[in-house]
Structure 1
C-alpha cells in the first residue's frame, strides 16, 4: 500500500500528479492529512481529483491554519499523540510491502517521515536533496529537508545537483525535474489564457520569513507599487492577508488588487496570462519555470534552480534588483520551454520496479516499469 502523508495545499498539488498516474495504473493508495492548511486543503483535494482522505491525523490549530510558531508546536504535538495512539493498529492494517511517501520541506514532511519509521515501512521523499546551504534561509524548511534527508529510505531528487547533496546515500533517483512540472502541465492543458488586452503582474508573497518582517513587507510593497508599469494582482492566503492588506492601507498604495487563493487550474491560467510574477514560493518558481513566465524570486536564497539562467531571477531581498526586474522583465520570457521527461512517470515507474506499486486485477503496469 502506498500512503501519502501531507498537510499543505502545495504538497497536495505536487502529490496529485503521482497519485493520478498510480490510479490510472490501477494501483491503490491512501492519503493521510495533517492539515497544516485546513479549509484551503480540504477544498483543494477534490479540485485536484483526489479522493477523500483516508485518515485525518490533525486539524490544524483548533480547526484553523497554523499562523505562529506556538501553534505549530501544538499542532505537532497533536500529530505525535495521534501516531502514538494508532501505531499498533496501523501496523496490523498496513499490508507488507507498504511505503510512506512524503513531499518537500514542511513540518508534515518531517512528521510523516517519523510516522513511516515508526510503522517500520520505507519512507520515500519526493523533491529530496535540495539545499540552500544556509539553515536560516529558508527557515525552517532547510532544516526540515536535512532531517528528512537523513531518515528517508528512498530519495526522489529533481536534479543531479540535488543528488550530489545526498552523495553516499542509497536509493537516490533523479526525476529530471519536480512534480510541480507535471502539475502545471496537466492543469495548463485544460485551461485557456486570459484576454491579452488586460495586462497585469502577479504577486504572491506569503512565507513566514517575509511576512514576519514588517519593515521588509513595507519596503517591498512600496517598491512594487512605485515601479510597476502595469496593475498588480496580489494573491493572499489566510496567513498573509492581514499583514499585506494592513500595509497597503497604511501606505495608500494604489496599484494592487487583492485576490484570495484560487483553485489550481484557475491559478495556472492566471500564471499563463501574467506579464510577470513576483513570488517567494518555491512551488510557484517551479511552475512558472515550466511556463516560461518572467519570475522574480523574492528570497535571500532558494534551494531550487528552476528557471535560473532563463526565466527567473533571485532578488536576495535587494530592492534595486526588484526595480530592475520591473523595467526589464520581458527579457526573461521564454516561449520555447522544453517539457522534458515527466518526474511523476519516473517516480511511478521506480515504485513499480521496487515492488511497492502493485496494481489490482486489471491494472496496467506503466511502460518502462516492467
Structure 2
C-alpha cells in the first residue's frame, strides 16, 4: 500500500479524544504520508469543548440524538448501524480506537465485518474482574479480540495479551499517549484565577469523580469525607471540577457547597487541568487517565475505586487504592499531609507508562504495517 494512508479515528468521550490527540496531531503535520478521518460518536458538552480546545475538525458526526440512552445495548446497536454507514463513506485503510468505551467495541465489530485493520491504543489493560469496572473490562477484552495491532502501554499489558494468546508479532509496548500529553502541556509560568484565590501556604486537594457506578451512596460517602477533611485542616483547599451528571451536580452542591475553601467548578480544559494538578498537593480520582498522569506529574494519587487495571502505578508506589470508605480516605490524606517521608516516596515514584513518545512509536508501527499490506 502506498501513502497517503487514510486512518479513521473514532471517539465518543473526552478521554478517548485526548488519548488519540497526540497521534492525530503528528499525522496532521505530515499530510504527504497521512490522511485522517475524524469520527465523533458523542455530543456531550465536554467532548465538544475538548474538540474545540484541540482545534479538531470532525469529518463525520454520528447523530447523537438517537443514542442518548444510558442503556448500553441500545447505544451499541445504534452505533453499529450508524458507523456502518460512516465506514462505507470514509473507506479508511485502518481504524484506530483508544481504551474501553462503547465506541471502541462498536468500531472493532464494524472493522471486522468490513475487513479493515484495527489498531487498539491502550491495549491489554485488565482487572480480570468481569463486571468491574463495568462495562469497560469486557469492552477492552472484546476489542482486543478483534484488533490487528496492539499498542500496549506497559510490559504488564503486553503480558496480559500474550497470556490470552494474541499474536506476539502484533503486540508493541509503546507507552501511553497520556504521557505525551503531559510532556507537551505543562507550563512553568502557568497562572489561573482559581489558583490566585487560594493562599500560597494552603495545600490543594484536586478531586475528580465521575464513574457512573460511584454515583449515589459511594459518592455521598466521599463527598462527606472530603468536607470533613477540609473543615478539620484550616490550610487545605479542595478543588472539584464537577462532571455534568445531574445527580452528581446535585450531590456536590448539597454536601460540598457553601464552603469558602471548597471550590466547585465546571470541568477544565485539559491544559488547565494538568497544570493545576501539577500545582496540587494530593490528587484523588476514580478515573483511569489521571492514574497515568499523576506519576508523570510527580503528585501522589489516591484512587477512589476498589481495583485498577493500571496496577503498575500502585506497585511502584505512585498510586494508592482507597476506595470510597471514609476511614481509609481520611487516613490516607492525613498521612500524606503530615508524613513528609511518605509523601516524598509517592511523589518520586517511577513513571510506569512510558517516556512521552508513544505517539511517535505508534506512527512508525502503523506506517510499516500499512506499507506491507
Alignment-derived partner of residue 3 in structure 2: none
Alignment of 1:342-361 (within 5 A): 342-355=357-370
- Find out whether 1:231 has 2:237 as its counterpart: yes
SS at match of 1:2: strand
SS at match of 1:5: strand
TM (norm. structure 2) is: 0.84
Cα displacement (A) at 1:317? 3.1
CA contact (8 A) 2:7 2:35 kept: yes
Alignment-derived partner of residue 311 in structure 1: 318
Cα displacement (A) at 1:23? 2.0
Deviates more, 1:326-335 or 1:118-127: 326-335
Cα displacement (A) at 1:191? 6.2
Between the two proteins, the alignment pairs up a number of residues equal to 342
CA contact (8 A) 2:176 2:356 kept: no
CA distance in 2: counterparts of 1:180 and 1:144, whole angstroms: 20
CA distance in 2: counterparts of 1:327 and 1:349, whole angstroms: 46
CA contact (8 A) 1:286 1:306 kept: no
Alignment-derived partner of residue 172 in structure 1: 171
Alignment-derived partner of residue 54 in structure 1: 59
CA distance in 2: counterparts of 1:111 and 1:31, whole angstroms: 15
Give unmatched runs, 5+ long, in structure 2: 1-5
Alignment-derived partner of residue 334 in structure 1: 347
Summarize deviations over 1:36-63 as a string: whole Å, max 9, x none: x52221221131242x11111232557x
TM (norm. structure 1) is: 0.84
Cα displacement (A) at 1:25? 3.1
C-alpha spacing 1:150/1:60, structure 2 compared with 1 (3 Å) = farther
Cα displacement (A) at 1:328? 2.0
Alignment-derived partner of residue 368 in structure 1: none
Question: Cα RMSD (Å) of the superposition?
Answer: 2.6
C-alpha spacing 1:190/1:116, structure 2 compared with 1 (3 Å) = farther
Give unmatched runs, 5+ long, in structure 1: 359-370
Name the structure, 1 or 2, with higher relative contact order (CA <8 Å, separation 6+): 1
CA distance in 2: counterparts of 1:286 and 1:315, whole angstroms: 17
CA contact (8 A) 1:113 1:148 kept: yes
